[in-house]
Every structure is written in C-alpha cells, then in structure tokens.
Structure 1
Amino acid sequence: MHQIDDDRADAWFHALSDRTRRDILRRVLVTEQSVSSLARNYSMSLTAVQKHVGVLERAGLLTRRRTGRETLTRGDASTVRSAAQLLTELEAVWRERIARIDDLLDAEAGPAPAPPSPPKD
C-alpha cells in the first residue's frame, strides 16, 4: 500500500468534509478563479469564503496567487488524485476483509448440497 502522511490525509478529508469547500474545489479544478468571483456564488461574506479557500490551500487541494489586487485560486489535480488513490487503497483493504469473511462463512456452511436428480419416468 502506498504510504501517505496521516497528517496530510487528515487535512484532505477535513477540507473535503464541508460542502462549500467541495463546491469551491470543483469550480477551481475547472478554471482558475478569483476569491471575489467565488464569493459571489455563496450567501456568505468574502471573509468566510477566504477562510474556506485557506483550509483548501493548507490541505494542498488548491493554490493561490496574487495578481495585482486579486487573489486567484486554482485546484491541484495531483493532490486530488492522491486523495482518490488513498480511498482506492482503503477500499481494497475492506474488499479483502469482506472476501475473507465470505470464505469463512462458506467454510463454516460446508459443501453445497447436490442439486436434485431429475425425475425418472
């Protein structure tokens, strides 16, 4: 299994646990946007949106850059892929556990009964 720093994974999933942050990430993965243009999509203050962007940035899910008076944000697809890979690896662990449970249940039940013989004429 690929090892990912636990603190980094915690930051990803904390950032993604909020629907506004997930929506912001979707938007900035499509195209770079200013924080002020992002804020127009939500019924919250610019400061609140800036805080959401900060959480996503600290998690490495997006980057910010200044251009004059604007702060532009862009999603980091490689980090999103890393988070997806972690989820895929965790899914594989659970699928293996389920397969082992199925094997134990099959072994406990014994061999399947033979199908009934066709009727003799």
Structure 2
Amino acid sequence: MTESREEAIKRLNESASSLEARHAQQESSHLAAQKVTGEAYKIIADLVGGVLVGLALGFLADRFLGITPWGIIGGVLMGFALSIYMARRTANRLMAQAKAAGVVAKSVPFDDADEDEDR
C-alpha cells in the first residue's frame, strides 16, 4: 500500500510541475505580447507626435514672425521628417534586440500568380 501512495504522490508532483511549466510559458508569452504592443504604440506616438509638434511650432512661427502659411508648411514637413527619423530609430533598436536574441524573420515566398495578374 505504501508503494501505491508513493507512486500517487510522484504522479501528483509530476502533474503539478507540468502545470506550473505550462502556466509560466503562457505568462511569459503574454508578457512578450504586451511588450510588442507597447513598442508598436511607441512607434505610432512617434509618428503622430512629431507631426503635431511640427504643426504647433509652424503655427507659432506664423503667428509671431508673420510668415503665413510658410511656418505651418515648414513645421509640418520638419515634424514629419523628425517623426520618420524617430520611428526608424525605434525600429532599428527593436531589430537589433531581436537579432541579439536570435530571432530570425520568416521570409515571404514569392508568388508568381501576383506577377501574372499585373500583366
């Protein structure tokens, strides 16, 4: 009878260990998904924020320097360029982190059917 109890306890411990491992794996994948989502929102904020800051600075230049509409035009263009630079910098940092972690992007297969439709 003691053998069956020991075997039952051993099986129960193995089940608990596998359950803990599955839970830890799900939790780590959930945290990774949250991190990726946060980085995506940062890139979007960089893109929108740069244009809005450029627009505001252009508006102020128009207001105080009297160069309407060139202040807003120049501000939006400079804000757009700044936002692209910041988003690209963030994307490069993320790509470097992924490369250091050993993540390899899957290639997209070439589809001849798409090329035939264009002709």
TM class by shorter chain equals: 0.3 to 0.5
| Bigger RCO (CA 8 Å, 6+ sep) | 1
- Structure with max Cα Rg: 2
The structure whose residues are more often strand, as a share, is 1
The structure whose residues are more often helix, as a share, is 2
Q: TM-score normalized by structure 2?
A: 0.33
Q: TM-score normalized by structure 1?
A: 0.33
